Chain A
């Protein structure tokens, strides 16, 4: 007789999840007790899935109860496998099919204005996350998961990476700190993750450790898709070391700041206006720009205050940040709107770009607007503004045709 192990969630307010308890027995075959909200429509389906997974794990005799609040098959599989692993450790993974829609890579330079945090052990929030079209979706294995749920969250995050369509969002995972974080990588690197967030970075060595582990996994699995890194600085020491961290590896594409932990580390409190973190945020912007990567701001934690969020994003943008974290899908559009070029910025950029194209056409080396010379970096900035405005539907792609 084995011990009774369990995984998953149940109870009031839990939806799209299930709770599995499992006890290995010495005989009697598989005794499955199913209590499902969707038993009428998917009861047989669920039974079949449970038997397939047990079979895959080589389990012939066990007592199982499955309390189901409408979990999708990928969630049931994750919960059951997590329970099985608690009962008897093995490397024998049960992998659900990888959706074709999920096989994509992301370019280094892509927009990262919005990245939506999702707790890694809450399936109900994952299923529809992609329909809100953030630039990135973070399946969080770190702070958003209770310590005793961190093991089972790995299976859910892995299955989500394989089985949930995120509709083109950059597929991100925030791993844990230290050794646990390195072990987290085994569950995400082989499953088409695009970017890894490394929390509480203070030293470049943390980046190296992550990259070494990624290299090992890729070698053994013969993988070669790019995996980008976004270190998060969340302490005074991290801020001081911002540049060494930002420039620690080739595959770092962005540097983020986490202000809740940072302000706690300083011994102060986070304010909306943010003077206590001004230095740290400036450091992040400077370090990131010096390293040629994107500086990314922290999250805004009052999900009801859309005006406060809007003002915060404008300040962020003014400081030089390229993006912010979101903890609720409704924040996405507000952040995008604030980061998008303003009407004035677009109008100014149009004039410069037109002048630039005219100068090019005339073979002139210098761009002029009226009597004023325009420096090359300003032209570059204007081209970037126009590109963004088009991308964010603030400007028609063929704007030049109607430009007078």
Chain B
């Protein structure tokens, strides 16, 4: 079986395969164009009579649990990324699979991190065929070099839910690492040594997988409350000494930036929002975990406080800064998809206004609406933006795949999407003639804020009108590109092979772009 076949040019003008790992795929047709029919996928019927009446589903080891799940060659194993770079479970799952001699598995994580680099040996020896989810850092490099056996598939958080719900991806075994669980399989993320806040990314896995294993290092007597993961979906419970490294769970880009250039981006982004009237009493916003985005949140908080206003809700990833806003009364709710620090975990545990959400409520294409479309201001990042406002978040300008999509594509559906990005990083211009990899169509991206000027998408005539006479430096995206090239020089296009190593899925499951092998 070849990794892919039958290339076509999709509605975005990108060449994509329509056969991916032996299965048919639909090319991107335009934003909101693809409609689907049929019924949702569902796991097989079970009988409670087959499960222990005393509710004790604890099994001695991961390996035994996998055996009982009937793990076979070619199956799909899923895991969540709430432990971020502190995940100790996924590598052990594949250690066990290797010991069992199982081959050609598909790993279906909600995201991958540097801690998953040890899985490369299983990609090399055939235990794992390919990854669908995200391929970060070393795994991305491995993929870019064309060394993964199957074709990589990158999906957004919402796209993962969509793929599970419409049966595009069938999870044979879901492994859910849970900071707290009881022997029946009820589980949560707010208590225990590996507390990570919530387990929203594992919800779909628990409900749609054929077999579900909960893995914990904090087994409590029934009932485990709260029970975000419900034991009625769970087949087996495995207890390990340690499932996550706390300081790596709470990690990464969760401090406000000290970089003066990024602070300037944050300040200008907030000023822009204020000048066009996006900030009002009762507004809503989502700012990600990056240092610049966090700083924008702080500028928003300052504006709200000064005027005696409050946000109706702030969309998490939550962190101590957002929690402070909640506790100070500057936002009424945090609707949270993942918690980035211990303050976020504490607040989610103790404060009913800090609400856990899943990609189903906020991002899923098969939902009857998504609340991502209700968010007034969304702040996102990008590795590249092109003159048509298209953006890339997965590859660098040299073509190397290094990041996942996360919730980025789903957030593009917010009312106003702002990308604060430097005009160039060292000598890498961020604004290009054409993005190396298309992850988000320009029609959904409204404003690019750089340290040398702000470009507004010509589609947003309302914003352009409101910024007339502003003291902020409003420029066209082409002017910004030329300014970058004057400083850095005109970059050469990377010479990539025509061999596809991964595809980018759009939120509706269609294929948006291809990632090529680097030379």
Q: Which A residues contact B (CB, under 8 angstroms)?
A: 15-16, 37-45, 69-73, 124, 127-128, 131-132, 328-330, 393
Contacts and interface: CB of A to CB of B under 8 A. Distances in A.
Contact of A132 (B264, B399, B492): B264
Contact of B428 (A38, A124, A328, A393): A38
- A-B complex: 6 closest residue pairs judged by Cβ atoms: A70-B426, A329-B260, A41-B491, A40-B398, A70-B427, A40-B494
B368 interface: no
Contact of A328 (B260, B397, B471): B260
17 contacts: A16-B426, A38-B426, A38-B428, A38-B491, A40-B397, A40-B399, A40-B494, A41-B397, A41-B398, A45-B489, A72-B488, A73-B489, A128-B260, A131-B451, A328-B260, A329-B261, A330-B263
Interface in B485-519: 487-489, 491-492, 494-495
A131 B492 contact: no
A128 B488 CA distance: 13
B388 to A, nearest CB: 20
Most chain A C-beta atoms within 10 Å of own C-beta, residue among B260, B487, B491, B495: B260
Given A38-B427, A40-B399, A69-B426, A330 B260 contact: yes
B445 to A, nearest CB: 23
B312 interface: no
A226 to B, nearest CB: 28
Given A131-B261, A330-B260, A70 B428 contact: yes
B39 interface: no
A403 B347 CA distance: 51
Contacts of A72: 427, 487-488
B452 interface: yes
Contacts of A330: 260, 263
B35 interface: no
B261 A128 contact: yes
Nearest to B432: A41
B121 interface: no
Interface in B387-439: 397-399, 425-428
Given A127-B487, A128-B451, A131-B452, A42 B264 contact: no
Contacts of B428: 38, 41, 70
Contacts of B425: 70
A45 B488 CA distance: 10
Most chain B C-beta atoms within 10 Å of own C-beta, residue among A39, A40, A69, A393: A40
Most chain B C-beta atoms within 10 Å of own C-beta, residue among A38, A124, A132: A38
Contacts of B488: 42, 72
Most chain A C-beta atoms within 10 Å of own C-beta, residue among B263, B398, B427, B492: B427
A333 to B, nearest CB: 9
Given A38-B426, A70-B425, A70-B428, 4 more contacts: A39-B398, A40-B492, A40-B495, A42-B491
A15 B494 contact: no
B492 A44 contact: yes
Nearest to B260: A329
Contacts of A71: 426-427
A346 to B, nearest CB: 19
Contact of A37 (B426, B452, B491): B426
A73 B491 CA distance: 13
Contacts of A16: 426-427
B489 to A, nearest CB: 5
Contacts of B495: 40
A126 to B, nearest CB: 12
A11 B488 CA distance: 22
Contacts of A45: 489, 492
A128 B262 CA distance: 11
Interface in B167-200: none
A329 B263 CA distance: 10
B402 to A, nearest CB: 13
